[in-house]
Structure 1
Amino acid sequence: MKKMICAAAAALLALAGPASSAHADATIQKGKVGLSVKGRGLSVNRAGGWMDGHGTGVQARLYTVYMGGRTDITTWKDAIPVSAGMTKFSNVDWNLKGKTFRGGTWLCIQFNKTDDTPCAQVHR
Structure 2
Amino acid sequence: MRHRLITAAVSVLVLAVVGSGAPAHADATVHEGKVGLSVKGQGLRVQRAGAWMDGHGRGVRARLYTVYEGTRTDLTRWQDATPRSVGISRFSDVGWKLNRRFRHGTWLCVEFNRADGAPCARIHR
With structure 2 as the length reference, what TM-score do the two structures score? 0.80
Q: Retained in 2: the 8 A contact 1:24–1:123? A: no
Partner of 2:101: 100
Q: Whose Rg is larger?
A: 2
CA distance in 1, matches of 2:25, 2:114: 31
Map 1:70-89 onto structure 2 (within 5 A).
70-89=72-91
Q: Retained in 2: the 8 A contact 1:46–1:93? A: yes
SS at match of 2:76: coil
Instruction: Tell me: CA distance 1:70–1:104, structure 2 relative to 1, closer, same or farther (3 Å).
Output: same
2:53 partner amino acid: M
CA distance in 2, matches of 1:31, 1:50: 11
Partner of 1:43: 45
Partner of 2:15: none
Determine whether 1:52 maps to 2:63: no
CA distance in 1, matches of 2:49, 2:119: 12
Determine whether 1:112 maps to 2:113: yes
Partner of 2:10: none
Q: Retained in 1: the 8 A contact 2:37–2:119? A: yes
Structure 2 regions of 5+ residues with no counterpart? 1-23
CA distance in 2, matches of 1:47, 1:68: 22
Structure 1 regions of 5+ residues with no counterpart? 1-21
Q: What is the Cα deviation at residue 23 of structure 1?
A: 5.0
With structure 1 as the length reference, what TM-score do the two structures score? 0.80
CA distance in 2, matches of 1:75, 1:113: 16
Of the three residues 52, 60, 63, the one matched with 2:65 is 63
RMSD: 1.1
% of aligned pairs identical? 66
Deviations 1:22-79 (A, max 9, x none): 9520000111000000000000000010000000000000000000000000000000
CA distance in 2, matches of 1:56, 1:23: 34
Q: What is the Cα deviation at residue 115 of structure 1?
A: 2.0
Q: Retained in 2: the 8 A contact 1:81–1:91? A: yes
SS at match of 1:103: coil
